[in-house]
Structure 1
Amino acid sequence: MTERVDTDRDLMGAAQRGDGVAFDELVRRHTAAMYRVAYRILNDRAEAEDAVQEAWVSAWRSLHRFRGDAAPTTWLYRVVTNAALAQVRRRKPAVPMDISDESMSHLVSDRESGNPEDHAMRSEEAGRVHRAIATLEPSQRVPLILREFEGMSYEEIAEVLEVNEAALRSRLHRARLALVARLKEMHRE
């Protein structure tokens, strides 16, 4: 029987003790966030879905490795990031980015005005930023995604990527510089 749990840490502990219902609740709570991370790394819906599936299977198999040093969400971000990066390494040719209106809608603010011209300009800029991020190397793209899109702290990202905070800050700095340079290039094109 499933024990009454409310926090992710409680759910993780119950799942580690073999409670499949608790693990299912973790899946319910965190699949959407894990998909966002995988999609932003891979820029392909099907590959992102595969990476999330692979991440959940890996998480289930390695529950015993979760020591509780980090938050369960940090651990899950590490698992999905590793799954997505493994897919990047398995790729043969580059996968073209999906830049449909539907895929870009998450980059446009929900607080936008009803002005269609403003919406079009924001959508165009969001598309340009998304395309520029997709050109970054994974070592730059991943920390940028986790920081700017997922709002994770430097400490959490360092834990996910298994680097120290100084190395992370350096990667983020280089990623931001590369992103600005790429956006300038795209503006000239």
Structure 2
Amino acid sequence: MSDDDVALFAEAAKGDITSFDTLVRRHTAKLYRVALRILGDPADAEDVVQDAWVSAWRSMGQFRGESAPTTWLYRVVTNAALAQIRRRRPTVPLEPEGQAESSFADSGPTPEQAALRREKVDAVLHAIALLEPSQRVPLVLRELEGMSYEEVAAVLEVSVPALRSRLHRARVALLAKLEELR
């Protein structure tokens, strides 16, 4: 979060709707991407992000500044996504095709190489979608969103060693899912 965003957050916490609107416009895409990767359903992800922003607006004044404001926003959207998972009935995850853009989706020099790469990315995204939420969330935040260990630990409200342990278990489970999908 830039210094400008920190100032906007402080103003929004005081009730300035214009500052809050600017934060919403700047950060909704990132929060949506996280929610989509956790939930696997675009409509659910949109609902969760909307709910997270409403929740953020209501509780911004209670932000204690113990973490970066963006870390707090990620925590709000992650908690909303996990609550959504608890509320809904078990479903089969969507196929990864058409989901959020992938940071690893580079087209190769030939169409065949690009298609093969896309298949691999789709397989990984599908395997991630099959993980339990407790494994999927830290993996999404760390590996797909590129957050630091400290940031992810703050979002999940766990220690860095506990996060490292969760990530290790998530990576092992991901490899097992990829083997199953072969």
- The ranges of structure 1 where at least 4 consecutive aligned residues each deviate by more than 4 angstroms after the TM superposition are none
- Aligned mates of 1:113, 1:131 — CA distance in 2: 21
Partner of 1:10: 7
Residue 19 (structure 2) pairs with residue 22 (structure 1): yes
Q: Alignment length, in residue pairs?
A: 181
Counterpart contact for 1:38–1:52, Cα < 8 Å: yes
1:55-94 residue pairs with structure 2 within 5 A? 55-94=52-91
Alpha-carbon shift at residue 105 of structure 1 (Å):
4.2
- Residue of structure 2 in register with 1:41 after alignment: 38
2:140 is matched with which residue?
Answer: 145
Alignment gaps of 5+ in structure 2: none
Alignment check: 8 A CA contact 1:44 1:95 kept:
no
Task: Classify 1:6/1:107 alpha carbon distance in 2 versus 1 (closer, same or farther; 3 Å).
Answer: closer
1:143-182, CA deviations, whole angstroms, 9 ceiling, x for partnerless residues?
Answer: 0000001111111111100111111100000000010111
Alignment-derived partner of residue 117 in structure 1: 112
SS of residue paired to 1:123: helix
Q: 1:105 & 1:145 partners in 2: Cα distance?
A: 13
Report the alpha carbon displacement of residue 135 of structure 1 after superposing the two structures with TM. 1.1
- RMSD of Structure 2 on Structure 1 (CA): 1.5
The percent of aligned pairs where both chains have the same amino acid is 62
**One-letter amino acid of the structure 2 residue matched with residue 103 of structure 1:** Q
Match of 2:168 among 173, 176, 185: 173
The aligned residue for residue 102 of structure 2 is 106
Give the letter for the 1:71 counterpart.
A
TM-superposed deviation, 1:121:
0.4
Normalised TM-score (structure 1): 0.91
Match of 1:97 in 2: 94
Q: CA deviation at 1:108?
A: 4.3
Q: CA deviation at 1:69?
A: 1.6
1:162 aligns to 2:157 (yes or no) = yes
Deviation at 1:93, TM superposition (A): 2.9
- Aligned match of 1:136: 131
